[in-house]
Structure 1
Amino acid sequence: MNKFAVLLMVGMLLVISNRTVNAKTETINEADTELCETVKMALISSLREPVDKAIVEIYKDDKNVPEGLTWASYDTEILKIKQLYGIGGLYEITLKVYPYYRAHMGYGEDEVVINTRGKLINYKHLKTYPRTATKGSDSLI
């Protein structure tokens, strides 16, 4: 019986003295921006391929579209992030993209919806900016 009592007391002592230790995880941000801004830029940049596809589709019938039309992740806005199936599931991200040509001469505004699997869901052209003529040229650039 004494052995049982000793084992019981040792067991209770171990349970009582057992402290819960939570590991502290730290995020290492090796970028020139705050973490929130860094995550935003990383998310937008990871969606480059479907946004490129949307820009091609939006402007494919535009006879005035300038050569080299592109867009910049730092000039793109996240309008909405819609959670579809719960935490960690699929998300739909709505972006406002500002295509430009040459030295960041704006050409338009577009809304693009992409899911986190990189699938282009929807796109909508919002606005086209008029192109400006360059010095010494009769044509529009």
Structure 2
Amino acid sequence: MKKAAVILVLVIIFVSHHTPVQSKTINEADTELCDTLKYALINSLRDPIDKAITEIYSDDKDAPEGLMWISYDTEILKINQLYGVGGEYEITLKVKPFYRAHITYGEDLIVVNSDGELISYDHLKTYPNVGLN
């Protein structure tokens, strides 16, 4: 009888410690997970994008002061995997700098790598400065 009780206790212990663990990503944002990841990636590249915007419009005498950009109006056009899974990535973005109440001034292609370095940029289009007073 004691032997059966010991075996029963051991079985209960082994079964109770073999609880499967399931993980689920918790998204505590106001957007779907895919959009949240997109905005997180874009925001992590803020410094090189700011640098590109400054360089692109530095010689434009008509450019309004304080051009800004925002992640939800930025498109990821391409992510190029350079050295295999987990290696470095090259991210091509379409950014639309704006001024004042989101008045778009231009469109630019900006290429950065996953280390946060500016690779290249190309100015695509300039919109007229409406110069509201």
Q: Which has the higher contact order (CA 8 A, sep 6+)?
A: 2
Which residues of structure 1 form unaligned runs of 5+?
A: 1-19
| Aligned residue identity for 2:112 | I
Matched, 1:41 2:39: yes
The size of the alignment, in residue pairs, is 116
Q: Tell me which of 29, 46, 49 is aligned to 1:31.
A: 29
Seen in structure 2, the aligned counterparts of structure 1 residues 63 and 115 have a Cα distance that, compared at 3 Å, is: same
Cα distance between partner residues in 1 of 2:20 and 2:114: 31
Matched, 1:68 2:66: yes
| Aligned residue identity for 1:54 | A
Cα distance between partner residues in 1 of 2:96 and 2:37: 20
Match of 1:132 in 2: 130
Percent identity of the aligned residues? 66
State the TM-score, normalized to the length of structure 1: 0.78
For residue 132 of structure 1, report the CA deviation from its aligned partner: 1.2
Seen in structure 2, the aligned counterparts of structure 1 residues 54 and 29 have a Cα distance that, compared at 3 Å, is: same
Runs of 4+ aligned residues of structure 1 deviating over 3 Å after TM superposition are: 20-23
Q: Structure 1, residues 67-112: CA drift from partner, whole Å, max 9, x if none? A: 1111111100000000001111100000000000011011000000
Match of 2:85 in 1: 87
Which residues of structure 2 form unaligned runs of 5+?
A: 1-17
Cα distance between partner residues in 1 of 2:116 and 2:131: 37
Cα distance between partner residues in 2 of 1:52 and 1:41: 16
| Aligned residue identity for 1:111 | L
Match of 1:101 in 2: 99
For residue 23 of structure 1, report the CA deviation from its aligned partner: 4.1
For residue 25 of structure 1, report the CA deviation from its aligned partner: 2.1
Cα distance between partner residues in 1 of 2:119 and 2:19: 44
The alignment's C-alpha RMSD in Å is: 1.5
Computing the radius of gyration over CA atoms, which structure comes out larger, 1 or 2?
1
- Equivalence map 1:3-22=2 (5 Å): none
- Equivalence map 1:107-126=2 (5 Å): 107-126=105-124
Seen in structure 2, the aligned counterparts of structure 1 residues 22 and 58 have a Cα distance that, compared at 3 Å, is: farther
State the TM-score, normalized to the length of structure 2: 0.83
For residue 133 of structure 1, report the CA deviation from its aligned partner: 3.8
| Aligned residue identity for 1:121 | I
